[in-house]
Amino acid sequence: MPDYSFELEIGGCVAGVDEVGRGPLAGPVMAAAVVLDPADILEGLNDSKVLTAKRRAALYAELMSRAHVSLGIATVEEIDEHNILRASHLAMVRAIAGLPMCPDHVLIDGNMVPRGLNLPATTVIKGDGRSVSIAAASIVAKIRRDAVMVDLAQQHPGYGWETNMGYPSKSHKEALLRIGVTPHHRRSFKPVHNILYQDK
């Protein structure tokens, strides 16, 4: 279970940052930055992927009222222009910049500090299972991105985005072939690229 030990060891105002949406064929990549109150750490914070949807939603609601939270987005166009890694880093930097305060230190899930982040930072591999601040960020990012994909699913029915969230499920790939490519698909990703530019 993640705990607050990274934050305590660093000291000061520490933000946890995580992103969601690197793997999908459609939709933006989104990152969240969260600064927890050291005197009010929510119980049950964990990697969003291991939480039930009900528990994730409950923790999200608590975080929105009891922590400082910011969201950063990189669009499909930015993903195609820069590549998914660079776009993920853009989303992270935007999330941190949107916080109501400038943190003294940033804990980043993964093994790379985003380019353009001009703050002291520490990378934490599998950080969403080790740091409660990163775990909180993973919950916020997933909840918000899932909501975007459910909304896009209503605008573009047939791809199953309300359940696959844009990831390359079998039904999503079949729908790509059957219905075609939408403006929300990542053209630089091979399954989409191949459909757009296949030999006639």
Question: Which residue ranges are tagged as binding site for a divalent metal cation?
Answer: 18-19, 109
Which residues carry a binding-site annotation?
Answer: 18-19, 109
Integer angstrom CA distances of residue 132 from 36, 37, 138: 8, 11, 10
CB atoms within 10 A of CB 178: 10
Instruction: Give the side-chain half-sphere CA count within 13 A for 151.
Output: 9
Q: Which residues pair with 74 in a beta bridge?
A: 29
